[in-house]
């Protein structure tokens, strides 16, 4: 049975959630969260601006179209200037002809939308609060435990099943700042692909998993994935980075 995560998130009471074991899925106690980070009023407008910024940041910026001087073709004047009763045509490389140049086409260069740092931070807080308010935030003790080397994928699948998240699209976020902190979890997540429920033994299907550090949190993956599984260290790191008075 999947435990309901948000217990209290009112203005008078600090938000709380279950702290669960990543190995067995059993609740270990209650954990108090920072209200400005995990229980603020969601701002869809700020999250939209942040997603546009992140989408533009991932683009290569190398798209380009040819101008009239760059299009290959004849320079001969195709028709006489006068006498046809039609519009004058100076070149077959004009934009109205097939194979002509593009008018006001794209050019290489950065086109990042302007967004202030405090606006982006507010969007991250809104995304985290949305997950908390929608019962899609799961807090575990630690994601950096060593997984059995004999069966990486099956061991991780057992832990996902213990959390009641089989067949879900999950974003794992750890707070340990060490380079090799979650190398085992990352290796296991790379083994997961997209499978239908009929193609798996447990009948829940299989989805791709995402693993990253809390220092690399962004709005798009938080909202794209169904569940956000974070450990206690990641909660502390997020509250340290995005807490406001």
Dist CA 106 CA 136 (whole Å): 40
Q: What is the pLDDT of residue 196?
A: 80
pLDDT single digits (tens) 190-225:
888 887 876 776 667 788 899 999 999 999 999 999
pLDDT tens by residue, 97-139: 999 999 999 888 877 888 999 999 999 999 999 999 999 999 9
% of the chain residues with pLDDT over 90: 59
Distance CA 71, CA 100 (A): 7
Inform me whether the pLDDT recorded for 9 exceeds 90. no
Task: Walk across the sheet containing 137-140 and list its strands.
Answer: 27-32, 16-20, 137-140, 227-231, 170-174, 210-213
Strand blocks (E) in 7-90 = 16-20, 27-32
CA 173 – CA 210 distance, rounded (Å)? 8
CB atoms within 10 A of CB 133: 18
Burial level of 47, CB count in 10 A (0-12/13-18/19+)? Answer: buried
Number of H helices, E strands in the chain: 7, 6
């Amino acid at each position: 049975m999947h435990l309901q995560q948000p217990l209290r998130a009112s203005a008078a009471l600090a938000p709380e959630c279950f702290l669960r074991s990543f190995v067995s899925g059993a609740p270990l106690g209650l954990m108090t969260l920072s209200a400005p980070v995990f229980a603020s009023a969601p701002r869809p407008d700020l999250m939209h601006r942040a997603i546009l910024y992140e989408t533009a940041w991932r683009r290569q910026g190398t798209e380009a179209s040819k101008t009239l001087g760059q299009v290959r073709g004849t320079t001969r004047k195709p028709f006489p200037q006068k006498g046809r009763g039609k519009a004058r045509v100076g070149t077959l490389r004009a934009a109205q002809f097939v194979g002509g140049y593009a008018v006001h086409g794209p050019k290489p260069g950065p086109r990042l939308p302007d967004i202030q740092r405090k606006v982006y931070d507010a969007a991250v807080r809104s995304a985290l609060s949305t997950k908390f308010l929608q019962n899609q935030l799961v807090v575990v003790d630690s994601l950096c435990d060593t997984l059995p080397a004999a069966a990486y994928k099956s061991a991780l699948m057992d832990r996902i099943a213990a959390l009641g998240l089989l067949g879900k699209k999950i974003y794992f976020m750890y707070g340990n700042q060490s380079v090799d902190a979650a190398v085992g979890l990352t290796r296991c997540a790379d083994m997961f692909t997209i499978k239908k429920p009929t193609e798996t033994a447990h009948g829940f299907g299989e989805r791709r998993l995402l693993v990253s550090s809390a220092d690399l949190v962004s709005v798009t993956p938080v909202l794209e994935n169904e569940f956000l599984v974070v450990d206690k260290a990641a909660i502390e790191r997020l509250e340290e980075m995005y807490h406001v008075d």
